[in-house]
Structure formats: C-alpha cells, structure tokens
C-alpha cells in the first residue's frame, strides 16, 4: 500500500487539525457528551435503585463501575466515525488527510472524551454508591488513566469498522466486547486491588498487561486502518 511521504510536523499538524475539527463540531451539537452524561447518570441511578438500602460487596462494586463505563462509552464513542459517514464527509476527509492522521486525530478525540467520561463516572459513582471506597489512590489513578487509553484505542478502531456497516448502533457493543474483555478483566482486577488497599507494587502485573494491550491495539489499528478507511 503506497503511503505519501510527508514530514512529521505536517503529520502532527493534520492530526491536531482533525482533533480540533471533531472537538469543534462536538461542542456545537454536544451529541456525544450529552449522551455519555445521561447514560452514566441513568445507569448509576439504576444501580442505586436495585441496591436499595443494601450494600454490595466491594468486589462487585468495582466490577459494576466498569460496567457503567463500558456501556456509556459504547453509546458515545462511535460518533466520531459514524457522523462522517452520515454527513457524507468521509470522502472529503479521505482526500484531505492521510489515513494515519485521521486515525490518530479521532483517537485523540475519543481519548479526551473517555478520560472526561471516566473522571465524571468515578466522581458520581463514589459520591452516590456507599460501599465503594478507594484505599490506594495511586493504583486507582493509574488504572483509570491506562484503562481510558486502552478503551479509547479499541473503541476507535471498532468504530471505524462499524461506521461502514448498515446496523451501526447494535453492532458496536457486539464487536467491541470480545476485543475489550482482556482490558475490562484487568482494570476490574486493578480497581479491586485499589479498594482493598493493596500496595502499588502489587498492581504492577496489571499495569504491564494494560500497557502491552494499548501498544498492541494501537499498532494493529495503525497497520489495518488503511483497509477500513479507503474505499
């Protein structure tokens, strides 16, 4: 596959330009942001209603935090690519920018969205759910950070795939779940460690898995994006 050679600075510029474009159009409509916020509030409310006055064990609560994050991100993160197809702007974007700039611009946008989503979810979750107490903040912060990057990376490449299919909405979680499962299992384990008050060293194994997951997913996205993006 021939790639047009260009200096790194232009590549960075066009990546940032795509990121800024997406951010601007998102701030104009606030579709993804409001969908994410409403989704998180709704899910936490459902958890609160179903728990009633009882308190769930800490294990289950750290799992449920990531259930909220997974389904919320499934409702919002596909927008970046789906809107390009819906508005019919995908073709223009193909002409204006190299595939890798498009991928990394959108990845950056999704990353910002996911980080915002996760910070908000964590604040709401720990404010309203009683049994959820973080004891080792260092593990928790690193887990949220690495988890967001991994989630955004996998969600972006799957979003690029489903934007080309007919039934976009239902297909997204179906395709994402098997890909995200290693990440989810690891972050749930790390979150559990942070609520148990484990030492930072005990979570090194989880962090190693998360970092290698991120590297693998970003690399494979970079290599395969050309095939998805070009008609």
Q: What residues make contact with another protein under the rule CB under 8 A?
A: 154, 157-158, 161-162, 164-167, 171, 174-175, 177-179, 181-182, 185-186, 189, 205-206, 209, 212-213, 216-217, 220-221, 224, 227-228, 231
Residue closer to another protein (CB basis): 42 or 212: 212
48, 51, 52, 58 alpha-carbon torsion, rounded to 10°: -90
Nearer to another protein, 34 or 212 (CB): 212
Question: Closest distance between another protein and the C-beta of residue 132, in Å?
Answer: 20
Q: Pick the closer one to another protein by CB: 111 or 158.
A: 158
Q: Which is nearer to another protein, 116 or 173 (CB)?
A: 173
Q: How far is the CB of 89 from another protein (least distance, A)?
A: 18
143 neighbors 194 (Cβ within 8 angstroms): yes
Q: What is the SS3 assignment for the chain?
A: CCCCCCCHHHHHHHHHHHHHHHHHHHHHHCHHHHHHHHHHHHHHHHHHHHHCCCCCCHHHHHHHHHHHHHHHHHHHCCHHHHHHHHHCCHHHHHHHCCHHHHHHHHHHHHHHHHHHHHHHHHHHHHHHCCCCCCCCHHHHHHHHHHHHHHHHHHHHHHHHHHCCCCCHHHHHHHHHHHHHHHHHHHHHHHHHHHHHCCCHHHHHHHHHHHHHHHHHHHHHHHHHHHHHHCC
Q: How far is the CB of 201 from another protein (least distance, A)?
A: 15
Shortest reach from residue 212's CB to another protein, in Å? 8
Minimum distance between the CB of residue 88 and another protein, rounded to whole angstroms? 17
Residue 40 or residue 146: which is nearer to another protein going by CB? 146
Shortest reach from residue 116's CB to another protein, in Å = 25
Using the minimum distance from each CB to another protein, give the nearer residue, 64 or 218.
218
């Amino acid at each position: 596959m021939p790639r047009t050679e260009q200096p790194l600075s232009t590549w960075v510029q066009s990546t940032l330009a795509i990121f800024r474009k997406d951010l601007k159009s998102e701030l104009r409509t606030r579709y993804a942001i409001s969908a994410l916020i409403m989704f998180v509030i709704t899910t936490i409310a459902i958890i609160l209603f179903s728990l009633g006055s009882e308190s769930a064990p800490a294990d289950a609560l750290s799992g449920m935090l990531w259930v909220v994050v997974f389904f919320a991100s499934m409702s919002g993160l596909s927008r970046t690519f789906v809107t390009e197809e819906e508005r019919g702007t995908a073709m223009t974007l193909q002409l204006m920018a190299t595939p890798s700039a498009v991928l990394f611009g959108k990845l950056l946008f999704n990353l910002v969205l996911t980080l915002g989503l996760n910070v908000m979810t964590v604040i709401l979750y720990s404010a309203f759910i009683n049994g959820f107490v973080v004891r080792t903040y260092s593990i928790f912060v690193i887990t949220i950070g690495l988890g967001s990057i991994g989630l955004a990376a996998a969600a972006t490449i799957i979003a690029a795939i489903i934007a080309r299919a007919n039934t976009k909405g239902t297909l997204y979680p179906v395709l994402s779940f098997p890909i995200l499962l290693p990440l989810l299992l690891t972050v749930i384990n790390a979150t559990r460690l942070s609520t148990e008050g484990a030492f930072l060293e005990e979570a090194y194994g989880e962090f190693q898995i998360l970092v290698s997951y991120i590297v693998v997913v970003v690399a494979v996205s970079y290599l395969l994006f050309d095939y998805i993006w070009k008609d």
